A = this chain, B = another copy of it.
Amino acid sequence: MDVRLEPAAAPGFRFAGVAAGLRNEPGRKDLGVIAADSAAAAAGVFTTNRVKAAPVLIAQERVRRGRLRAVGVNSGSANCFTGKLGLKLALDSTAALAEALGCKPELVAPCSTGVIGQPYDLARYREGIAAAVAALNPGGLEDFASAIMTTDTHPKVASARLRLGGKEVTFAGCAKGAGMLEPKMATMLAFVMTDAAVSPAILRAAVRDALPRSFNAITVDGDMSTNDTLLLMASGAAGNRPLEGRELGRFNAAVAEISAALARELVRDGEGATKLVTVEVRGARNAADADRVARQIANSPLVKTAFFGCDPNFGRILMAVGKAGVAIDLDRIEVAMGGIKLASRGALHTEALAAAAQRMRDREFTLTVDLKLGKGAARILTCDLSYGYVKINAEYTT
């Protein structure tokens, strides 16, 4: 399957993104709507942060029933730590969208992203909803993706087509998130739509399958948002026959691939990021060990500043490996940067450092750590820690 970083029309869905004045930045799109022509099968996963925003609490409950007609997303305010008024704000927001679409509020999921601790203006939201619903169209995915951005430098969309159940099926997704990003359950905000005819149960299984290989396998700064949400919706407009066996596997793989493409775009646009680094750990005693090692490396400020400095700093990588607390054998461990071996059999290959430093000038490369103790493997995408990250986060004031 060929995933393209382009929007696509997923039959049965329409999209819009409008400037509702929620951010006090004239002309900046800040309200997005996804609407299905009729109630779509839906599944979702949400942040595991103990602090959950009001829209997360509501969306979580509604998506459990397996059907959604629409999603309303605002940027600028996370509607988190806003108490009972925040819950009411999220409920009133979905009611406004439900009324405009002529459906029950229970079929509408709210999402918010932005500053924590402050609500947004409901009157402006309602006016924005009227404008957004009027603007809804099958080709509006990129407008929607633009409306949900915060510190993102560009909208992230992805799409793919494949034959399933006797029909051509489309997958179209988008995501946002550039900081406060180490989703443990889902990323900041991500939406994947398909016209496939599948049940909510199939969607839930597809999400479970896709997560470890996509949104749960990335990190920008090890911080986890209070609003992380992934929604997967299927309109059924493709009219395919029921999916079973191998075709079900291909459906799951498609969801995983489009999720992985979106997750990759999030890290590529990580706050201040100049490099996209795949941290690949193998040879661990088990997958959990490999995951711990990969996350320690991918989140170490010392390793990430070394990425920024194009410094094949083996010592920092080894420090991070040891910090993970899993079984290692220094005489066996092998470390390679962009395919160039930095260390093996207990010795550092100093003669390879210059070439590795050169390789690190690439915009993307892979750091491989082979513990040579077993078959456990893990892969985490990360980015470098640059002056840009400090600038964005020291100057972005609530």
Contacts and interface: CB of A to CB of B under 8 A. Distances in A.
Nearest to A391: B387
A366 interface: no
Interface stretch (A23-31, A130-138, A239-247, A310-318): A310-318
A222 B343 CA distance: 24
Interface string A315-345: 1101111111111101100000000000100
A218 B391 CA distance: 25
A335 to B, nearest CB: 10
Contact of A80 (B115, B315, B386): B315
A78 to B, nearest CB: 7
B302 A179 contact: yes
Contacts of A115: 315
A358 interface: no
Contact of A116 (B221, B315, B324): B315
A49 B326 CA distance: 10
Nearest to A118: B348
A306 B118 contact: no
A355 interface: no
Interface string A289-309: 000000000001110011011
A224 B323 contact: yes
Interface string A23-61: 000000000000000000000000011111000000000
A302 B308 CA distance: 18
Contacts of A316: 116, 180, 223
A388 to B, nearest CB: 9
A343 B393 contact: no
Contacts of A118: 348, 350
A319 B116 contact: yes
Contacts of A81: 314-315, 318, 330, 343, 346, 348
Given A81-B346, A390-B386, A398-B315, A50 B326 contact: yes
Given A331-B83, A385-B301, A387-B387, A319 B223 contact: yes
A390 B319 CA distance: 18
B346 A302 contact: no
A214 B67 CA distance: 54
A117 B352 CA distance: 13
A301 B223 CA distance: 8
Nearest to A346: B83
Nearest to A304: B393
Given A51-B322, A81-B346, A306 B393 contact: yes
A301 B348 contact: no
Contacts of A302: 179-180, 221, 223, 393
A103 to B, nearest CB: 31
A365 interface: no
Nearest to A115: B315
B387 A311 contact: no
Contact of A324 (B50, B179, B353): B50
A51 B319 CA distance: 7
A83 B323 contact: no
A225 interface: yes
A397 B313 contact: yes
A266 to B, nearest CB: 16
A397 B326 CA distance: 27
**Among A52, A301, A312, residue most surrounded by chain B Cβ atoms (within 10 Å):** A301
Q: 8 tightest A-B contacts by CB?
A: A116-B315, A51-B322, A309-B394, A305-B393, A117-B348, A49-B322, A50-B322, A83-B346
Given A222-B301, A309-B394, 7 more contacts: A50-B322, A50-B323, A50-B326, A80-B315, A81-B343, A179-B302, A309-B393
